[in-house]
Copies of this chain bind each other. A is one copy, B any other.
C-alpha cells in the first residue's frame, strides 16, 4: 500500500529555494515571475516528473474545468458518434469530460448527476432516459447555479438550454416524400410520446398527413420504445391487425431494423410489399439491402453545439440567457421510400 508519493509544488520549491507560490505561478506563466525563474522552475518540474494534482487545484480554485455528460446509452450508433463529437469539441476547448451512462434508468441517471455535482463539474450536458419524469434533480442542478444543457432528449426546465434536431420538421419532410411517392396508407411505429423525440416525430407525422388530407387508421399508429425489439413488435402488431399499411415511418433507426427482422420473418418484402423510412441512421447503413432512406441527424453538429453552448453559459454565468437551438435535418434517400409506381412495376415483373 505504500504508493510512491507524487511530486508536489513544495518539492520543486525546496529544491530551488523559492516559495511554492512562486513555483505555482511560474508553472502557470504568471507575469509576477521572471523569465529566468520560470524557465528554471519548469526545468526542475520536468526533471522531477511533476504532475499537478487536479483535486487540489479544483478545490482551491473552485472549478473543475470539466463538463459532466449523462447519456442513456453508449453502444448505439447515434450516441456513440454524439459522444465522440462531444469529446472532440471539449478537447479543442481545453475542457475535460466526465461521462456517465444511465442505461435508460432514471434512478441511475439521478445518481450520476449527484456524482457529477459532487465533482463540481462546471456544467452539465444531459440526454434523459426514456423513463425520466421527475424534474426535481434538474431543478436542484439549476438552483445550484450549475449550467445545464439538455441534448436531443430534453425536458422543459426553467433556466436550462436545449439542443435538439428538428424532429417535427424532419418527420414532416419524410412523410411528405412518402406521399409524393404515391403512398397513402402510412403507418407510424413511434416511441414514447412523453419524451420530446417521440412526441415531435409523431406530431410531424400527424401534421404531414393532415396537410395532405390523408386519413389515419388508428391501427396504423403504434407506440413503443426506441429499440429493435420495439420495431419488431410494432411491425407484428400491424401485421396481425390484418390492416397492413403500404408505408411505415419508424421513429428510430433501430426500430426500422426491428421492422426489417420481423418483415423478413413473415415474408414481407421491403420495399416491394412495404416501404419504409426512419429517423436516424448508422455508418453501416449503406451495406444494408435495401439500404434505409432516413432523416439524417447531424450528430457531430449536435455534440459540438451542446458543448459550445455549455461553455458559453459557464463563461457568462448569470448574464446568460438559456437558449433553445434546433439543428435542421436532411433527408437521405437510399433504397427505400421509393416511388410507388416503380414498386408496382418491379413486383409485376
Q: Which residues of A contact B (CB under 8 A)?
A: 1-4, 6, 49, 51-56, 58-59, 62, 64, 73-77, 79-81, 83-84, 87-88, 91, 96-101, 103, 108, 114-115, 117-120, 140, 143-145, 257, 260-261, 282-284, 286-289, 317-318
When A4-B145, A99-B97 are in contact, do A87 and B74 touch as well, CB less than 8 Å?
A: yes
Q: Residue of B at shortest CB range from A88?
A: B103
Given contacts A1-B317, A287-B261, contact A140 B55 (CB under 8 A): no
**Given A97-B99, A115-B96, CB of A84 within 8 Å of CB of B74:** yes
Rounded to whole angstroms, the CA-CA distance of A108 and B114 in the bound complex is: 30
Q: How far is the CA of A224 from the CA of B83 in the complex (A)?
A: 27
How many chain copies? 2
- Contact in complex: A91, B108 (CB < 8 Å): yes
- CB-CB under 8 A from A145, the residues of chain B are 3-4
Query: CB distance A75 to B64 under 8 Å?
Result: no
- Tell whether, in the assembled complex, residue A55 and residue B52 are in contact, meaning their CB atoms are under 8 Å apart: no
Which residue of chain B has the shortest Cβ distance to A85 in the bound complex? B75
A72 to B260 alpha-carbon distance, docked (Å): 32
Q: Is the CB of B4 within 8 A of A114?
A: no
Can you report 24 residue pairs joining A to B where beta carbons are below 8 Å apart?
A1-B317, A3-B145, A4-B145, A6-B144, A49-B143, A51-B117, A53-B59, A54-B55, A54-B120, A55-B58, A55-B64, A56-B59, A74-B81, A75-B283, A84-B101, A87-B101, A88-B103, A97-B99, A97-B100, A257-B287, A260-B287, A287-B288, A288-B288, A289-B289
Residues of B within 8 A of A87 (CB): 74, 100-101
Which residues from chain B contact A75 at a C-beta distance below 8 Å? 77, 80-81, 83-84, 283
**Who on chain B is nearest to A117 by CB?**
B51
Our pick among B88, B120, B143 for the contact of A55 (Cβ within 8 Å) is: B120
What chain B residues lie within 8 Å of A283 (beta carbons)?
A: 75
Is there contact, CB below 8 Å, between A98 and B101? Answer: no
Given A53-B118, A55-B64, A118-B53, answer yes or no on A318-B1 (Cβ-Cβ < 8 Å).
yes
CA–CA, A79 and B87, complex, Å: 15
Neighbouring B residues of A79 by C-beta, 8 Å: 80
